[in-house]
Amino acid sequence: MIKSAISLKAHAKINLHLEVLGKRSDGFHDIISVFAPISLADELLMQRKPDKKECKVLSPLAELPAENTITRAYEEFKNFTGISEGVSVRILKRIPEGAGLGGGSSDAASVLRGLNDMFSTGLTEEDLRVIALKIGSDVPFFLGNGAAVVRGRGETIKRVSVFSDCFGILIYPEIKSATPRAYNLLGRKESEILKPAFNPELFCGKDCREWPFFNSFEDVLFTEYPAIKKAKQDLLTNGADFALMSGAGSSVFGLFKDEKTVKNAYSKLLAEYGRCFFFLLLAF
Protein backbone atom coordinates (compact mmCIF):
# COMPACT_ATOMS: atom_id res chain seq x y z
CA MET A 1 0.00 0.00 0.00
CA ILE A 2 1.41 3.37 -1.03
CA LYS A 3 1.08 5.98 1.72
CA SER A 4 0.50 9.67 0.99
CA ALA A 5 2.33 11.02 4.06
CA ILE A 6 4.63 9.76 6.81
CA SER A 7 5.87 11.40 10.03
CA LEU A 8 9.44 10.57 11.03
CA LYS A 9 11.86 11.28 13.86
CA ALA A 10 15.60 11.50 13.30
CA HIS A 11 17.47 11.13 16.58
CA ALA A 12 20.90 12.59 17.28
CA LYS A 13 23.78 10.41 18.42
CA ILE A 14 26.68 11.01 20.74
CA ASN A 15 30.05 9.29 20.60
CA LEU A 16 30.75 7.70 23.96
CA HIS A 17 34.15 6.78 22.55
CA LEU A 18 35.95 7.75 19.33
CA GLU A 19 39.41 6.60 18.37
CA VAL A 20 40.83 7.47 14.96
CA LEU A 21 43.12 4.63 13.92
CA GLY A 22 44.49 5.81 10.59
CA LYS A 23 43.97 7.14 7.08
CA ARG A 24 43.13 4.67 4.33
CA SER A 25 44.27 4.68 0.71
CA ASP A 26 40.74 5.67 -0.37
CA GLY A 27 40.97 8.87 1.67
CA PHE A 28 38.63 7.75 4.45
CA HIS A 29 39.77 7.16 8.03
CA ASP A 30 39.41 3.97 10.03
CA ILE A 31 37.80 4.51 13.41
CA ILE A 32 36.54 2.52 16.34
CA SER A 33 33.71 4.24 18.14
CA VAL A 34 30.69 3.78 20.37
CA PHE A 35 27.62 5.51 18.94
CA ALA A 36 24.59 6.01 21.18
CA PRO A 37 21.28 7.56 20.07
CA ILE A 38 19.76 10.22 22.32
CA SER A 39 16.33 11.76 22.77
CA LEU A 40 17.18 15.02 20.94
CA ALA A 41 15.67 14.66 17.46
CA ASP A 42 14.65 16.38 14.24
CA GLU A 43 11.02 15.94 13.20
CA LEU A 44 10.13 15.28 9.57
CA LEU A 45 6.88 15.12 7.62
CA MET A 46 7.27 13.50 4.20
CA GLN A 47 4.50 13.76 1.60
CA ARG A 48 4.11 12.21 -1.86
CA LYS A 49 4.09 14.53 -4.85
CA PRO A 50 2.92 12.36 -7.78
CA ASP A 51 3.18 15.29 -10.21
CA LYS A 52 6.82 16.01 -9.29
CA LYS A 53 10.12 14.26 -9.98
CA GLU A 54 12.21 15.72 -7.18
CA CYS A 55 12.53 16.16 -3.42
CA LYS A 56 11.66 19.57 -2.04
CA VAL A 57 12.80 20.35 1.51
CA LEU A 58 11.15 22.95 3.73
CA SER A 59 13.07 23.88 6.88
CA PRO A 60 11.49 26.74 8.86
CA LEU A 61 13.83 26.53 11.88
CA ALA A 62 17.22 26.35 10.13
CA GLU A 63 18.38 27.23 6.63
CA LEU A 64 19.57 24.21 4.65
CA PRO A 65 21.48 24.23 1.35
CA ALA A 66 19.52 23.28 -1.77
CA GLU A 67 21.47 20.03 -1.93
CA ASN A 68 21.55 18.30 1.46
CA THR A 69 21.48 14.84 2.98
CA ILE A 70 17.70 14.62 2.58
CA THR A 71 17.76 15.37 -1.15
CA ARG A 72 20.77 13.07 -1.52
CA ALA A 73 18.89 10.24 0.20
CA TYR A 74 15.94 10.73 -2.14
CA GLU A 75 18.16 10.72 -5.26
CA GLU A 76 20.09 7.62 -4.19
CA PHE A 77 16.85 5.82 -3.30
CA LYS A 78 15.31 6.84 -6.62
CA ASN A 79 18.35 5.58 -8.54
CA PHE A 80 18.26 2.25 -6.68
CA THR A 81 14.53 1.57 -6.91
CA GLY A 82 13.38 3.48 -9.99
CA ILE A 83 10.51 5.31 -8.24
CA SER A 84 9.13 8.05 -10.45
CA GLU A 85 7.29 10.27 -7.98
CA GLY A 86 8.64 13.22 -6.05
CA VAL A 87 8.24 14.05 -2.37
CA SER A 88 8.25 17.07 -0.11
CA VAL A 89 9.92 16.94 3.30
CA ARG A 90 9.16 19.48 6.01
CA ILE A 91 11.78 19.29 8.73
CA LEU A 92 11.87 20.88 12.17
CA LYS A 93 15.63 21.01 12.66
CA ARG A 94 16.40 20.71 16.36
CA ILE A 95 19.82 19.02 16.12
CA PRO A 96 22.57 21.66 15.76
CA GLU A 97 24.69 21.50 12.61
CA GLY A 98 28.46 21.02 12.74
CA ALA A 99 28.07 19.65 16.24
CA GLY A 100 29.27 16.04 15.92
CA LEU A 101 25.75 14.73 16.55
CA GLY A 102 25.06 13.14 13.16
CA GLY A 103 21.97 15.24 12.46
CA GLY A 104 22.31 15.21 8.69
CA SER A 105 23.11 11.50 8.65
CA SER A 106 20.13 10.70 10.86
CA ASP A 107 17.84 12.77 8.62
CA ALA A 108 19.06 10.81 5.59
CA ALA A 109 18.51 7.43 7.27
CA SER A 110 15.00 8.41 8.36
CA VAL A 111 14.15 9.49 4.82
CA LEU A 112 15.46 6.19 3.40
CA ARG A 113 13.31 4.19 5.80
CA GLY A 114 10.36 6.49 5.14
CA LEU A 115 10.64 6.17 1.36
CA ASN A 116 10.87 2.38 1.63
CA ASP A 117 7.68 2.40 3.71
CA MET A 118 5.85 5.05 1.69
CA PHE A 119 6.37 3.38 -1.69
CA SER A 120 6.30 -0.24 -0.41
CA THR A 121 9.52 -0.98 -2.31
CA GLY A 122 10.45 -3.85 0.01
CA LEU A 123 14.14 -3.08 0.28
CA THR A 124 16.05 -5.23 2.75
CA GLU A 125 18.23 -3.86 5.54
CA GLU A 126 21.26 -4.72 3.40
CA ASP A 127 19.82 -2.79 0.43
CA LEU A 128 19.25 0.25 2.63
CA ARG A 129 22.74 -0.07 4.08
CA VAL A 130 24.29 -0.05 0.60
CA ILE A 131 22.38 3.12 -0.27
CA ALA A 132 23.16 4.71 3.10
CA LEU A 133 26.91 4.27 2.76
CA LYS A 134 26.81 6.22 -0.53
CA ILE A 135 25.38 9.20 1.35
CA GLY A 136 27.75 9.26 4.31
CA SER A 137 29.83 7.12 6.65
CA ASP A 138 27.52 7.58 9.65
CA VAL A 139 24.22 7.00 7.83
CA PRO A 140 24.16 3.16 8.13
CA PHE A 141 24.23 3.38 11.95
CA PHE A 142 20.97 5.36 12.00
CA LEU A 143 19.10 2.67 10.06
CA GLY A 144 18.96 0.51 13.19
CA ASN A 145 18.06 0.97 16.83
CA GLY A 146 20.19 1.30 19.92
CA ALA A 147 23.88 1.83 20.57
CA ALA A 148 26.63 0.22 18.53
CA VAL A 149 30.36 -0.23 18.27
CA VAL A 150 31.24 1.14 14.85
CA ARG A 151 34.42 0.26 12.98
CA GLY A 152 36.06 0.95 9.62
CA ARG A 153 34.71 4.12 8.01
CA GLY A 154 31.33 3.33 9.57
CA GLU A 155 30.32 0.26 7.59
CA THR A 156 30.99 -2.31 10.34
CA ILE A 157 28.30 -2.00 13.00
CA LYS A 158 27.79 -4.22 16.04
CA ARG A 159 24.81 -3.40 18.24
CA VAL A 160 25.62 -3.39 21.95
CA SER A 161 23.95 -2.58 25.25
CA VAL A 162 25.35 0.47 27.01
CA PHE A 163 24.94 1.77 30.53
CA SER A 164 21.95 4.10 30.34
CA ASP A 165 20.92 4.62 33.97
CA CYS A 166 21.81 8.29 33.77
CA PHE A 167 20.72 11.73 32.57
CA GLY A 168 22.47 13.85 29.98
CA ILE A 169 23.23 17.50 29.27
CA LEU A 170 24.46 18.57 25.85
CA ILE A 171 26.15 21.91 25.19
CA TYR A 172 26.52 23.36 21.69
CA PRO A 173 29.04 26.23 21.98
CA GLU A 174 27.87 27.86 18.72
CA ILE A 175 30.91 26.61 16.80
CA LYS A 176 30.46 24.74 13.52
CA SER A 177 33.22 22.16 13.40
CA ALA A 178 33.91 20.83 9.89
CA THR A 179 34.82 17.14 9.96
CA PRO A 180 37.43 17.35 7.13
CA ARG A 181 39.24 20.14 8.98
CA ALA A 182 39.18 18.16 12.22
CA TYR A 183 40.84 15.23 10.46
CA ASN A 184 43.42 17.58 8.92
CA LEU A 185 44.25 18.95 12.36
CA LEU A 186 44.64 15.40 13.63
CA GLY A 187 47.24 14.82 10.91
CA ARG A 188 47.04 11.08 10.41
CA LYS A 189 49.28 10.05 7.51
CA GLU A 190 48.15 7.63 4.82
CA SER A 191 48.91 4.01 5.73
CA GLU A 192 49.61 5.07 9.33
CA ILE A 193 47.39 2.55 11.11
CA LEU A 194 47.30 2.49 14.89
CA LYS A 195 46.19 -0.40 17.08
CA PRO A 196 43.08 0.31 19.17
CA ALA A 197 43.87 1.28 22.75
CA PHE A 198 41.28 -1.27 23.93
CA ASN A 199 38.12 -3.07 22.85
CA PRO A 200 35.25 -0.73 23.81
CA GLU A 201 32.76 -3.62 23.81
CA LEU A 202 34.27 -4.75 27.12
CA PHE A 203 33.26 -1.52 28.86
CA CYS A 204 29.93 -0.45 27.33
CA GLY A 205 27.80 -2.07 30.02
CA LYS A 206 29.85 -0.75 32.93
CA ASP A 207 28.93 2.27 35.05
CA CYS A 208 29.81 5.46 33.15
CA ARG A 209 32.17 6.45 35.98
CA GLU A 210 34.32 3.43 35.06
CA TRP A 211 34.55 4.14 31.33
CA PRO A 212 38.07 4.57 29.90
CA PHE A 213 36.56 6.16 26.79
CA PHE A 214 38.11 9.15 25.00
CA ASN A 215 37.85 11.16 21.78
CA SER A 216 40.92 11.43 19.53
CA PHE A 217 39.82 14.87 18.31
CA GLU A 218 39.67 16.54 21.71
CA ASP A 219 43.28 17.70 22.04
CA VAL A 220 43.52 19.33 18.61
CA LEU A 221 40.06 20.90 18.73
CA PHE A 222 40.47 22.12 22.31
CA THR A 223 43.57 23.98 21.11
CA GLU A 224 41.75 25.34 18.07
CA TYR A 225 38.56 26.22 19.96
CA PRO A 226 39.12 26.85 23.71
CA ALA A 227 35.35 27.36 24.12
CA ILE A 228 34.81 23.63 23.52
CA LYS A 229 37.31 22.75 26.25
CA LYS A 230 35.60 25.20 28.61
CA ALA A 231 32.19 23.64 27.94
CA LYS A 232 33.51 20.20 28.89
CA GLN A 233 35.12 21.57 32.04
CA ASP A 234 31.89 23.35 32.98
CA LEU A 235 30.01 20.05 32.77
CA LEU A 236 32.52 18.32 35.04
CA THR A 237 32.57 21.25 37.46
CA ASN A 238 28.79 21.02 37.73
CA GLY A 239 28.88 17.36 38.69
CA ALA A 240 28.96 15.30 35.48
CA ASP A 241 30.14 11.74 36.12
CA PHE A 242 31.43 11.49 32.54
CA ALA A 243 31.95 14.18 29.89
CA LEU A 244 33.28 14.10 26.34
CA MET A 245 33.20 15.96 23.07
CA SER A 246 31.00 14.21 20.52
CA GLY A 247 32.27 13.29 17.06
CA ALA A 248 34.52 15.86 15.43
CA GLY A 249 32.93 18.56 17.60
CA SER A 250 31.79 20.97 18.56
CA SER A 251 29.14 19.74 21.01
CA VAL A 252 30.10 18.39 24.41
CA PHE A 253 27.96 16.18 26.61
CA GLY A 254 27.92 15.20 30.25
CA LEU A 255 26.28 12.17 31.87
CA PHE A 256 24.92 12.38 35.41
CA LYS A 257 23.76 9.51 37.62
CA ASP A 258 21.98 11.74 40.13
CA GLU A 259 18.75 13.45 39.06
CA LYS A 260 19.03 16.36 41.50
CA THR A 261 22.60 17.07 40.37
CA VAL A 262 21.65 17.13 36.70
CA LYS A 263 18.71 19.46 37.35
CA ASN A 264 20.92 21.93 39.21
CA ALA A 265 23.61 21.68 36.54
CA TYR A 266 21.12 22.22 33.73
CA SER A 267 19.73 25.34 35.40
CA LYS A 268 23.21 26.86 35.79
CA LEU A 269 24.50 25.88 32.34
CA LEU A 270 21.37 27.04 30.54
CA ALA A 271 21.99 30.54 31.91
CA GLU A 272 25.44 30.58 30.27
CA TYR A 273 24.93 28.58 27.10
CA GLY A 274 22.11 29.52 24.76
CA ARG A 275 21.94 26.05 23.25
CA CYS A 276 21.96 23.63 26.13
CA PHE A 277 19.85 20.48 25.94
CA PHE A 278 18.69 17.91 28.47
CA PHE A 279 18.62 14.39 26.99
CA LEU A 280 18.28 10.70 27.72
CA LEU A 281 20.21 7.83 26.18
CA LEU A 282 17.90 5.69 24.07
CA ALA A 283 18.53 2.09 25.04
CA PHE A 284 16.10 0.51 22.58
- The response to whether 96 counts as a known ligand-binding position is yes
- The response to whether 205 counts as a known ligand-binding position is no
Give DSSP secondary structure letters for 118-181: HTT----HHHHHHHHHHH-TTGGGGGS-S-EEEEETTTEEEE------SEEEEE--S----HHH
Task: Name the active-site residue from 107, 138, 234, 241.
Answer: 138
pLDDT at residue number 284: 56
Q: Which helix (H) or strand (E) holds 228?
A: helix 226-237
Decide if 13 is catalytic.
Answer: yes
pTM (2 d.p.): 0.94
Q: What is the DSSP letter of 190?
A: B
| Tens of pLDDT, residues 3-59 | 899 999 999 999 999 999 988 888 888 999 999 999 999 999 999 999 999 999 999
Asked if residue 82 and residue 45 are part of one domain, the reply reads yes
Residue ranges making up the domain that contains 216: 167-280
Per DSSP, the three-state class of 7 is strand
- The response to whether 100 counts as a known ligand-binding position is yes
pLDDT at residue number 82: 97
Closest CA to 65 of 37, 109, 41, 98: 98
Last residue of a domain, one of 99, 128, 159: 159
Last residue of a domain, one of 159, 185, 207: 159
| Tens of pLDDT, residues 201-215 | 999 999 999 999 999
Strand partners, 67: none
- The response to whether 104 counts as a known ligand-binding position is yes
The CATH number of whichever domain residue 126 belongs to comes to: 3.30.230.10
Last residue of a domain, one of 121, 142, 159: 159
Read off the pLDDT band of 190 (50, 70, 90): low
Decide if 241 is catalytic.
Answer: no
